[in-house]
Amino acid sequence: MSDARQRMVARAAAEITPGMVVNLGIGLPTKVVNHLDADFPVCLHTENGLSGIGPTLSPEQADRNLIDAGGAYVSTLPGSAFFDSAVSFALVRSGRLDLTMLGAFEVSQAGDLANWKIPGKFSPGAGGGIELAQKARRVVVLTTQTDRAGNPKLKAECTLPITARGCVARIFTDMAVIDVTPEGFALCERAEGVAAAEIAEATGAPLALPAGDIPTF
């Protein structure tokens, strides 16, 4: 993982406050767990049926029956609980999930999220992503600021099929922390060594800048 991504993940970890129930989506968000201290009070949820995820295990240490929704071998903590898939999403839909961190193909300035389908290229199904995006009390996105071709992933409108509308509150990228406000994207923080103008350039919609100094991470 590049240094910029590492810092993005470390910064995103600070989004988690004590006592929260949190679901970390597949991919980059999963790495956030490495930035949580052993005595930090938090409950990590995975939609295949576990609250209280413990550290990831190597194949040598793994329990063949204990994975997270991304297929990684994980462990339990004192106070973990297993449940079926209906209960797992009941928790999500009924407002018991305080925060989810998801990946994205595109985020619109209205907070619409597209992260499950690229017609003609990638259509494996949405899995549990729609319910996480639509029902977590707070949805934040971890993504690179641009795609591999250098095109902005933050856009005026999503062009890909929507996962959920108006759901994204905040975006952590390798360049910046950006909030979705009623007026659109607003820059909160910039990565060390990245100028606000570069971030605005790499954003596909207007980006409001804060008055005064922009904190760095």
Partner 1 sequence: MKLPDKTTTLEAAVARIPHGATVMLGGFGVPGTPFTLIQELLRQGQRGLTLIKNDANETGMGVDHLLAAGQVARLITTHIGLNAHAIELMNSGRIDVEFCAQGILAERIRAGGAGLGAILTDIAAETELAAHKQRVEIDGKSLVVETALRADVALIHANSTDPFGNLDYVATARNFNPLMAMAAERVIVEAERLLPFGTLAADDVHTPGPFVDHVVELGALSEEYAIVRR
**Among all residues, which ones are annotated catalytic?**
47
Select 66 or 175, whichever has its Cβ closest to partner 1. 66
How far is Cα of residue 24 from the mean position of the Cα atoms in its chain? 6
Of the pair 112, 189, the CB lying nearest partner 1 is at 112
CA atoms within 13 A on the CB side of 26: 14
Residue 30 Cβ, how far from partner 1 at the closest point, in Å? 14
**Least separation in angstroms between CB 207 and partner 1:** 25
Query: Are 23 and 132 within 8 A, CB to CB?
Result: yes
Cβ 207 vs Cβ 186: under 8 Å: yes
Q: How far is the CB of 164 from partner 1 (least distance, A)?
A: 7
Q: Which residues make up the interface to partner 1 (CB under 8 A)?
A: 18-19, 21, 33, 36-52, 54, 59, 62-69, 71, 73, 76-97, 123-128, 130-131, 134-135, 161-165
Closer to partner 1 by CB, 64 or 148: give it. Answer: 64
Q: Which is nearer to partner 1, 3 or 17 (CB)?
A: 17
In the complex, least distance from residue 87 CB atom to partner 1, rounded to whole angstroms: 7
| Amino acid code (one letter) for 107 | V
Residue 45: which residues within 8 A CB-CB, separation 6 or more?
21, 22, 23, 51, 53, 88, 91, 92, 97
| Spatial distance between the Cα atoms of 184 and 172, rounded to a whole number of angstroms | 15
Residue keyed to tokens 């952590």: 172
